[in-house]
């Protein structure tokens, strides 16, 4: 029995979450889904967008599934997902960039993993107003840079990848990205001495060059590891290559906890219409199953989604179909439970 904290959130969050939970209930595994609150609606009702009880539930669960949240008004509170990542110590953000059959994409055969340092950088939220405007402090530490580099190499081996690429801007951000770059190469030298890792190549790119090559020649990349803001931008760029944010899952991993969420936002413009694409949420559940060690069940769920995408009969409007969120999810469930 796995205890899973479920945070539906705002907008289309509850819709894609409900559809995904319905599929997971057809699994051979046993789950205890415990719902918790976060986001804008929670803020309006309680005065906080991340209640302490939500944090405690997530800490004490085997994993957390997170839908999507709407940001609260500026300056009133820290973003709930950023705060939750920090409170749970989720320092690694894994964002697959993967092509799927039946999905219109720029490239139909990509399988790249972007690993984003999740705990510092420009997302440290150390800002202040000045007479001229405002300043933000970019925090880069050796500890966090080495830690995320270790994740990059272990994920590469786990996924059978043969190249790890560091992405930075050390030619301009000489001190902060200098620390990140040096930390990466220190870790790389350690792994290069290990028999299991000898076949993994290492290289580096400035972030502007990486952004260009991600569009013009993405096949040169297999695993990219980078700092917080760069990873956020590059992973959304990658999503655009394989069908958009509706096909983009993510995993937030720490030493003791894991949180899994679609990359897309709460999409208030389509909330309540029943047309949100559940694929990113379903794929985030696949990442959760792998995190739990249930690799066969994760494979089975992903294959069920691939089947539905290939058939093309039950697809939401963003994928070129006319089906509702529930209809697409039901089609996935029917295959998954066979």
Q: So which residues are the catalytic ones?
A: 123, 169, 208, 232, 236
Instruction: Show the CA angle centred on residue 263, arms to residues 294 and 333, nearest 5°.
Output: 45
202: phi then psi, degrees, rounded to nearest 5 = -130, 145
Question: What are the CA-CA distances from residue 332 to residues 62, 126, 220, 243, 300 (Å)?
Answer: 24, 43, 33, 19, 10
Burial 320-331, CB ≥16 within 10 A → b, else e: ebebbbbbbbbb
The C-alpha angle with vertex 107 and arms to 106 and 109, in degrees rounded to 5, equals 160
Q: Which of 154, 138, 166 is nearest to 196 (CA)?
A: 154
Quick check: 268 and 39 in contact, CB under 8 A?
no
Find the Cα–Cα–Cα–Cα dihedral 60, 66, 71, 76, rounded to 10°. 0
Q: How many angstroms separate the CA atoms of 334 and 254, rounded?
A: 33
Residues 229, 138: Cα–Cα separation, whole Å: 10
Asked if 72 and 14 touch (Cβ cutoff 8 Å), the reply is no
Instruction: Give the residue ranges of DSSP H helices in the chain.
Output: 13-24, 40-46, 52-59, 80-88, 142-158, 176-191, 207-216, 228-241, 279-291, 295-311, 325-336
- Contact between 260 and 247 under an 8 Å Cβ cutoff? The reply is no
CB 67 within 8 A of CB 9: yes
What angle, rounded to 10 degrees, do the helices at 13-24 and 279-291 form? Answer: 50
């Amino acid at each position: 029995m796995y205890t899973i904290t479920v945070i539906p959130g705002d907008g289309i969050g509850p819709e894609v979450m409900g559809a995904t939970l319905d599929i997971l209930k057809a699994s051979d595994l046993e789950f205890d889904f415990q719902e918790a609150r976060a986001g804008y609606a929670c803020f309006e009702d309680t005065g906080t967008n991340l209640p302490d009880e939500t944090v405690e539930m997530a800490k004490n669960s085997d994993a957390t599934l997170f839908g999507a949240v709407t940001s609260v008004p500026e300056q009133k509170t820290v973003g709930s997902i950023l705060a939750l990542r920090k409170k749970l110590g989720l320092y690694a953000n894994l964002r697959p960039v993967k092509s799927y059959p039946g999905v219109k994409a720029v490239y139909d055969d990509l399988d790249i993993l972007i690993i984003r340092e999740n705990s510092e950088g420009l997302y440290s939220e150390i800002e202040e107003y000045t007479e001229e405007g405002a300043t933000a402090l970019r925090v880069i530490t050796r500890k966090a840079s080495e830690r995320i580099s270790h994740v990059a190499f272990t994920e590469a081996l786990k996924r059978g990848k043969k190249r790890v690429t560091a992405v930075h801007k050390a030619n301009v951000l000489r001190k902060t990205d200098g620390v990140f770059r040096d930390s990466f190469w220190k870790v790389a030298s350690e792994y290069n001495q290990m028999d299991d890792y000898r076949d993994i190549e290492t290289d580096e790119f400035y972030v502007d060059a990486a952004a260009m090559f991600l569009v013009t020649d993405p096949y040169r990349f297999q695993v990219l590891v980078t700092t917080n803001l760069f990873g956020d931008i590059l992973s959304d760029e990658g999503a655009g290559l394989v069908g958009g944010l509706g096909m983009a899952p993510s995993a937030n991993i720490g030493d003791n906890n894991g949180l899994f969420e679609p990359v897309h936002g709460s999409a208030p413009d389509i909330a309540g219409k029943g047309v949100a694409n559940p694929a990113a949420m379903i794929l985030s559940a696949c990442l959760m199953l792998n995190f739990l060690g249930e690799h066969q069940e994760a494979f089975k769920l992903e294959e069920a989604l691939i089947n539905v995408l290939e058939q093309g009969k039950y697809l939401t409007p963003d994928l070129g179909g006319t089906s509702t969120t529930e209809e697409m999810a039901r089609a996935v469930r029917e295959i998954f439970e066979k």
